Amino acid sequence: MKNKIAGALALTACAGLAQAQSNLTLYGNFDEYIGYIRSSNGSHITGLNDGAILRTRLGVRGSEALRAGYEIKYTLEMGINADTGAAADSSRLFDRQSWVGLNTPAGEVRVGRQNTEIFLTGGAIDYTERTTFGSVINTFGIPSRYDNDISYRSPRVAGLMLSLHYALAENGGAARGNRPIYQAALDFERGPYRFGYAGLQAAPNQLTATVREKVNYHHVYTNYKYGAGTIYIAFVRSNNSTANANGRNAGAILNNISVPNNYFAGTDLNAERYYNIWQVSADYRVTPALRVGALYGAMRDTSGGDAGTRGANVGAYYTMSKRTSLYSFLSYLKNDTNAGFRFSSSAGPSANLAGDAINGRTLTGLQLGILHRF
């Protein structure tokens, strides 16, 4: 509790500084929605949830110019469960991001807790920004951020930008044998076209592993802006899915938001099961304020274990003001006999189905929500 109070006081102080210094900004957003989910076994649930598109957050970011072309940059960002007021992660104050960086003419270097390149390219995956009930790729799970991360981001040259990450395992003591997490991304954007790749790879603990398979997550994407909207095509290949108490595919082998020392034990046979995920979507701007979209995706278990799924989604965004939007999504997900995937959002619905209600079942879902940025 003392840490939370201290954090709130620190952010309040930063807000005062932000008024006096143009290079320091206090920012955030609220994102809350009513979510309804129904299973083909008759189970259903309704809840007020946080973070369909953007997890509710409060952050501070800023910079300091050093000399021509050089600057120090930083970001501190905490997640909040807006439906309850509780911290998104009670074990740390700045659970979303906590990094400092040096920006130069040759590129930018950052150190600390950072978002993955897979997460950062989410807007190129589908019209929903891949964070709603209906995104099949998000249903599988997006590696979001890792601790102790060192990254490099190149300048964009002729439309092309390279990003590299190395998240230290910080071996020693009980952590001895842990391995780092590597990331790479290449993004091209020019005119109406955008395409690229982002991925990561992590090896299991070298002392505890009985399953030596590395965890991989690789995605490629392409976009085409056709005037009134955008067409999105994306492909993912990964083995980062496993069972937990909520269902056959309700967990990740390598935690999607980091664990201490960025490692996994290497004892899960599910690491040998790879999935191929295809998704296509498009949106259309009906009026300056109203945007509609739809998507279809399919996930195939390449091990032949009948543990894939397929899904579809239609949705709409309505811009009420510069900072406030309303949204609604209607989604469908059909699990194969041995699959247990369930709808997910940016924060993961606090009211969700589990167990027999998702394993091998067909799910339908509806979201109605509001997003306000400040």
Q: Which amino acid is at 279?
A: Q
pLDDT tens, position by position, 302-346:
999 999 999 999 999 999 999 999 999 999 999 999 999 999 888
94 vs 58: CA distance, rounded Å: 9
pLDDT tens, position by position, 190-223:
999 999 999 999 999 988 899 999 999 999 999 9
Q: What is the pTM of this model?
A: 0.91
pLDDT over 60 at 275, yes or no: yes
155 vs 354: CA distance, rounded Å: 44
Mean pLDDT of 113-125: 94
Beta bridge partner(s), residue 12: none
Q: Parallel, antiparallel, or unpaired: how do β-strands 324-335 and 242-244 relate?
A: unpaired
Residue 170: band (very low, low, confident or very high) from pLDDT cuts 50, 70, 90? confident
Mean pLDDT of the chain: 91
* pLDDT value for 157: 97
Residue matched to tokens 């072309």: 69
Q: Are 129 and 122 in contact (CB under 8 A)?
A: yes
What domains are defined for the chain? 2-373 (2.40.160.10)
Q: Which residues have CB under 8 Å from 284's CB, separation 6+?
A: 228, 229, 291, 292, 293
Q: Are 345 and 49 in contact (CB under 8 A)?
A: yes
* pLDDT value for 18: 46
* pLDDT value for 199: 97
Q: Residue 147's closest CA among 113, 120, 171, 99? A: 113
pLDDT over 80 at 79, yes or no: yes
Q: Which residues have CB under 8 Å from 65's CB, separation 6+?
A: 23, 71
pLDDT over 90 at 108, yes or no: yes
pLDDT over 80 at 189, yes or no: yes
Residue 19: band (very low, low, confident or very high) from pLDDT cuts 50, 70, 90? very low
Residue 255: band (very low, low, confident or very high) from pLDDT cuts 50, 70, 90? confident
